[in-house]
Structure 1
Amino acid sequence: MSGSKLPHKPSLMGKFLNTIEAVGNKLPHPIALFAWLSVLMVVISMVCSWLGVSATGTLVVSGVLAETTVETVNLFTAEGLAWMLTSAVTNFTSYAPLGTVLVAMLGVGVAEHSGLISAVLKRTVQITPKSLICPVVVFLGVMSNITSDAGYVVLIPLGAMVFRAYGRHPMAGLAAAFAGVSGGFSANLMVGVLDPMLQGISQEAAYLVDPNYQVNIMGNYYFLFVSTFLITILGTLVTDYIVEPRLGKFDQAVLGEDDTLRSLTDAERSGLKVAGIAFWGFALVVVGLCIPANSFLRASDGSLTGSGSVLIGGIIVLIALFFMIPAIAYGKKAGTMTNTVAVCNSLCKSMESMGPFVALAFVASQFIAYFNYTKLGTILAINGAHVLGELNIGLIPLMVLFVLFSAFINLFMGSASAKWNIMAPVFVPMFMMLGYSPELAQLAYRIGDSSTNLITPLMSHFAIILIFAQKYDKKAGLGTLTATMLPYSIAFLVCWTVMMIIWLALGLPIGVDTGLFYTPVV
């Protein structure tokens, strides 16, 4: 890791993580690694196709649930090679984080180059106790999933900046924010974008058993509300007692910048006041536009967060504007950005820094697309579900195994909704026939799915997090990021599962009007 060596002998955990980091960093450059993985996927698909690897299960086909046999798709055929050649561009342009990251970074870049972020951090340090900064970063990370993926590209780099401003290791701040955003992706104090998405999939699966059953959109709310505080506490403890001590002291020479936190100047204070007015003024405009029942920002059903909501669909653009508008106001008042030329130059500079991410995104998008095309992830999920379904071990052991199975599958399939589209038609009916509610199956899935987000390169935003990390550790590779995030993943998976076990043992409701059990229809 960057920085000085630890002054004491590494603990057993430290040695284990150091080994993972060393082995992982011996892998090729991430761009080359994903390129080789893409080639390997071609070979694996060819072998699995020759061996007749397949699975049969109930899946959604053309919007209809049906018994379907899924066979391995061989990439090393005329059709497969043609697909790889003709889909390369669309694989890249449809790569989920690409547009999200670039658009958000336009706004963040203007805020950074105008000096607004630096001034805000100085002010934050003045008013926030150092002891609270870590739980605040983790908590905000958890809460950021209300806006889907925005936390990945906004909060994680800011977490590093905040820790650096407090004289703490910026990689620890990055890790803490990443843990909250991704590891706590399902937890929240409010209903987020993921809730209606998963509820809709669970609903369709429940219809297979009971056409009259209604899956509650807040069916996991009570459990996930409490989980927000669990993740915040665990994220803070892991950061303070495992991750940051292992990182050692940050070497400022890595950035080549003056890290001294000077007091706010009069120009910065004036700029912050104007930026605050601009921020809240724009916020009032957005809120005002949301109020009318027929607002163009609402979904067709009138909701602000439901499927088709313009507010949620345009949240990345709005976030970019929430950075850009106050930044321009700040720059004008503070004298750091006095004309449109300066604004345009800052936009260009923010994109210059994204070159490594764009290159990595191209090869990473190909690998993920190849894996999805082969159907191997679907086959693994279906066959694993059949094995789990044949066990007759009781409520708690079954749910623990389902959590672990979901965590394992997540290592190979990054999208939460895509996996649930495959798994729900298998597990929801199976659990309902055993007497367990669809919401409980969904809850166990969300625990496992979130816990291993932090350590799988197939998570769509893993590449951009690695680029953020390389700003503070030039030698950071997959091993560095995996070793840094593994303690969070283990802590979340173990403690979250224990919390579920206690919840089930006490028979507590897991959500609004939602219990643990379902009475099968005779």
Structure 2
Amino acid sequence: MAKTDVASKDTTKGFLAFVERTGNKLPDPVFIFFYLIGILVLISVVAHLFGLSANHPVQTNADGTPLVIKSASLLSAENIQRLWVDMPKTFTHFHPLGYVLVVMLGAGVAERSGLFAAGIRQAVRGAPLFLLTPVVALVAMLSNHAADAGYVVMIPLAAILFASVGRHPMAGIAAAFAGVSGGFSANISPGQLDALLFGITEAAVDGANLDPSWTMNIAGNWWFIVALMFIYLPVIWYVTDKIVEPRLGKWTPDATQAAEYGDEDKPLTDAQRKGLRHAGLAILAVCVLWAAMTFSPGTPLLNEPAEGVEQAWYVTATPFFRSLVAGFMVLFLAAGWAYGRAAGSIKDHRDLVDMMAEAMKDMGYYLVLAFAAAHFVAMFNWSNLGLISAVHGANGIESSGLPLPIALGLIVLFSALLNLFVGSASAKWALLAPVLVPMLMLLGISPEGATAAYRVGDGATNIITPLMVYFPLILVFARRWQKDFGLGSLTAMMIPYSVWMLITGVILMMVWIFLGLDLGPGAPIGYSLPGAG
């Protein structure tokens, strides 16, 4: 066993131990939603009896008087009928469901063909010694497009890479874990996470009925997640090299250590390298195809304005933005198929169909979760409690005199705290979005801005909560190199990353709103309700 200076930590005391004990007692997120539906029903009845209401911020009655939004009991005959009659529609019309399933049809092929794993290995092997940490962190963040492959391939590979150059393998695990999980929302382009989160955001906007003209744009946080990546990269580099690795002490491997820990660092075969070349050509072909559909005569992916009518460029490009969900599916599918045909992992079209079917099997739990979340969100909207809470919450923030950047920063911190107790990113956003999205819209923050604030808080504490689904797997990887490495050791190792990523993420969010920068193409952070004022 390798020698190390890290001592075992007492994991029975302290705040993180409390988080672990409390979180482990929570039921599965599916049942959390069912319990919350029961609580919501009771609250809606009480709110209706007490006449809880708010003035609609935009809509008025025919005589110009404010339209009053009244709370509705979920036990009314109308809502009970709606629950049972509309159940199939409530489930299938849940916005994130279609977006995620479409993207995963392609991403599942790219993952199962071996494209993601080979691409990750090729990207980090041979990195210059002084750039090893930032290269590992960068590829780890980019690997979020690869779903599970980022955790399963990148993290053990980083440990081997660090060990092969005489550095502590635990530092490699820490840097890769920080990139894959802490930098969960940082990337160079939108992907399946954007489809998931913006689908929930769209459901929140539709439920509040504040702006029927707002449409989901999967690229709505594009510029922000790129900036987040460039912020997190030096943070992970500094924390790894200056804080974590010195604390780990000098690492001395056993004589047989290198042979014990898998083949993650094997050089790519000729077939795999050929597959990567073919995948690159497929990606280029898909990009050319989308460009042709956007800029060629007839422009099927642009809304041409009527003659003599001026419209903003992002309104013109709305079909293009909305096509990106399908675009990423085609991109992953084409690249995965091209790689698999060249590398030998896909023999014929039946293999391709099998991979797509396996990807859908993996989504089984998500379908169950989506059923529960869809009904919670829908019933929250039927009760009108979401919009009423948003109106009163926005009024409370305005009357407090709290500057908007500070308020947004506090929302980021709240998301980070909630993440310690509820691991699923989609479950948390489904809980928060029906209130936070309309509340921030009323305060002048766009739905894209609300989504960006949430994802900063969600990612930063992923790496210190035992409720994150891959946390036990990271512990297994760590024990390959140090047998006595425990839960407390892993948490203590990752806390510096979490603290600095949260601080820098909050600062970035506050600076972004202060400067009024766009979060993505056609996605300003500032917002004004149509017809307001």
Report the TM-score, using the length of structure 2 for normalisation.
0.63
Q: Which residue of 1 aligns with 2:184?
A: 178
Counterpart residue number, 1:402: 407
Amino acid at match of 1:277: L
Pairing partner for 1:261 from 249, 259, 265: 265
Matched AA of 2:182: A
Q: Is 1:337 the equivalent of 2:346?
A: yes
The aligned counterpart of 2:378 is: 369
Residue of structure 2 equivalent to 1:215: none
Distance 1:276 1:93 in 2: 35
**Cα 1:492/1:125, change in 2 over 3 Å:** closer
User: Can you list the C-alpha shifts for 1:124-148, whole angstroms capped at 9, x where unaligned?
Assistant: 122545311454258659xxxxxxx
Task: Please give the per-residue CA displacement for 1:57-101, whole angstroms capped at 9, x wherever unaligned.
Answer: 513579xx9833222221122222212212322222122322222
Match for residue 138 of structure 2 among 136, 139, 146: 136
Separation in 2 of the partners of 1:221 and 1:283?
Answer: 17
Unpaired runs of 5+ residues, structure 2, are: 160-171, 211-220, 249-260, 306-310, 419-427, 477-490, 519-523, 527-533
Contact 2:111 2:117 in 1 (8 A): yes
Other-structure match for 1:386: 395
CA contact (8 A) 2:460 2:502 kept: no
Residues 278 and 326, structure 1, Cα contact 8 Å, conserved in 2: yes
Please tell me the root mean square deviation across aligned C-alpha atoms, in Å: 5.2
Query: Deviation of residue 305 (structure 1)?
Result: 4.8
The structure-2 alpha-carbon separation of the partners of 1:346 and 1:356, relative to structure 1 and needing over 3 Å to count, comes to same
AA aligned to 1:384 is G
How far did residue 312 of structure 1 move? 1.8
Deviation of 1:371 (Å): 2.1
1:407–1:452 Cα contact (<8 Å) kept: yes
Alignment of 1:302-341 (within 5 A): 305-306=314-315, 309-341=318-350
Corresponding residue for residue 121 of structure 2: 122
* Alpha-carbon offset, residue 366 of structure 1: 1.6
User: What is the number of residues matched between the two proteins?
Assistant: 427
State the alpha-carbon separation in 1 of the partners of residues 497 and 47 from structure 2.
34
Aligned equivalent of 1:145: none
1:224 deviation in Å? 9.6
C-alpha separation between the residues in 2 aligned to 1:382 and 1:291?
A: 42
Q: 1:446 to 1:340 in 2, by over 3 A?
A: closer
Does residue 289 (structure 1) correspond to residue 281 (structure 2)? The answer is no
Local SS of the residue matching 1:336: coil
Residue by residue over 1:451-509, the C-alpha shift from the partner in whole angstroms, topping out at 9 and shown as x without a partner, is 4455999xxxxxxx9777788789xxxxxxx99999988766655555687899xxx85
Q: What code does the residue aligned with 1:175 have?
A: S
Report the Cα distance in structure 2 between the residues aligned to 1:178 and 1:338, rounded to whole angstroms. Answer: 33
Aligned residue number for residue 23 of structure 2:
24
Using the TM superposition, give the Cα deviation of residue 27 of structure 1 relative to its aligned residue in structure 2, in angstroms. 1.0
What is the match of residue 155 of structure 2? Answer: 163
Cα gap change, 1:373/1:306 in structure 2, threshold over 3 Å: closer, same or farther?
same
- Asked if the contact 2:111–2:146 (Cα under 8 Å) also holds between the matched residues in 1, the reply is no
- Structure 2 counterpart of 1:24, one-letter code: G
Alignment of 1:329-478 (within 5 A): 329-391=338-400, 397-403=402-408, 407=412, 414=430, 419-425=436-442, 427-428=443-444, 448-454=453-459
Q: Quick one: structure 1 residues 423 and 262, their matched pair in 2 at CA, closer, same or farther if it must change by over 3 Å?
A: closer
1:23: how far off?
A: 0.6
Equivalent position of 2:529 in the other structure: none
Structure 1's 471 and 375: CA in aligned 2 closer, same or farther, altered over 3 A? farther
Structure 1's 449 and 91: CA in aligned 2 closer, same or farther, altered over 3 A?
Answer: same
| Whole-angstrom distance in 1 between the partners of 2:340 and 2:225 | 41
Query: Corresponding residue for 2:106?
Result: 107
Q: Where in structure 2 are the equivalents of 1:241-280 lying within 5 Å?
A: 260-280=264-284
- Distance in 1 (CA, whole Å) between partners of 2:433 and 2:227 is 21
CA shift in 2, pair 1:133/1:296, >3 Å: same
Contact 1:413–1:419 (Cα < 8 Å) also in 2: no
Counterparts of 2:109 and 2:448 in 1: how far apart (Å)?
40
Partner of 2:58: 59
- Distance (Å, rounded) in 1 between the aligned partners of 2:65 and 2:497: 38
* Mapped contact 1:108–1:323 kept (Cα < 8 A): yes
Alpha-carbon separation, structure 2, partners of 1:20 and 1:447: 25
CA distance in 2, matches of 1:470, 1:91: 35
Contact 1:238–1:487 under 8 Å retained in 2: yes
Deviations 1:221-261 (A, max 9, x none): 9999976644555577789979xx99xxxxxxxxxx95633
Task: Please report how far the alpha carbon of residue 157 of structure 1 lies from its aligned counterpart in structure 2 after TM superposition.
Answer: 3.8
% identical aligned pairs? 24
Q: TM-score normalized by structure 1?
A: 0.64
Whole-angstrom CA distance in 2 between matches of 1:284 and 1:261: 34
Give the Cα–Cα distance (whole angstroms) in 2 for the partners of residues 371 and 365 of structure 1: 10
SS in 1 for 2:181: helix
Q: Is the 8 A contact 1:179 1:235 kept in 2?
A: no
